[in-house]
Structure 1
Amino acid sequence: MSPDDRKFAADWLEPVPAADCGNLQVETAGLPTDYVDWLQQIGWGELDGSFMFYSGPTSVALIYGHNAPTGRLVAIGDDMAGYVVGIDLSRKDVVEWSPKGEEASRWTSFTEFVVERVSELRRASEARGQ
Structure 2
Amino acid sequence: MYDDLQPHTTGGLLASLTRSHVDSLAELSKSYPQVPSDYVSFLQTLGWGEIGSSAFMLYEGLLAPGQIYADEDDSLAGIVLFGDDLQGYCCGFDTLKGWEVVEIDPVSRTAHAVADSFSSFIRDLLDDLA
Q: Which TM-score band (shorter chain)?
A: 0.7 to 0.9
Q: Is the 8 A contact 1:5 1:118 kept in 2?
A: no
**TM score, norm. by length of structure 2:** 0.83
Ranges of 4+ aligned residues in structure 1 off by more than 6 Å: none
Deviation at 1:105, TM superposition (A): 4.3
Identical aligned residues as a percent? 30
Q: Which residue in 1 is equivalent to 2:17?
A: 13
Instruction: Out of 98-107 and 14-23, give the one that drifted further.
Output: 98-107
Q: Which residue in 2 is equivalent to 1:97?
A: 104
**Equivalent runs, 1:1-130 vs 2, <5 Å:** 3-8=3-8, 9-48=13-52, 49-68=54-73, 69-90=75-96, 91-100=98-107, 101-122=109-130
SS at match of 1:66: coil
Higher helix proportion: 1
**TM score, norm. by length of structure 1:** 0.83
Q: Is the 8 A contact 2:21 2:44 kept in 1?
A: yes
Partners of 1:41 and 1:31 in 2: CA distance: 16
Deviation at 1:121, TM superposition (A): 1.2
Instruction: Out of 110-119 and 56-65, give the one that drifted further.
Output: 56-65
Deviation at 1:66, TM superposition (A): 2.7
Runs (5+) with no aligned partner, structure 2: none
Per-residue CA distance 1:3-42 (angstroms, 9 max, x = gap): 4533314312001012210111101232111001111111
How many residue pairs are counted as aligned between the two chains?
A: 122
Q: Which amino acid aligns with 1:88?
A: D
Partners of 2:113 and 2:55 in 1: CA distance: 17
Query: CA 1:2–1:16 in structure 2 vs 1: closer, same or farther (change >3 Å)?
Result: closer
C-alpha RMSD of matched pairs (Å): 1.8
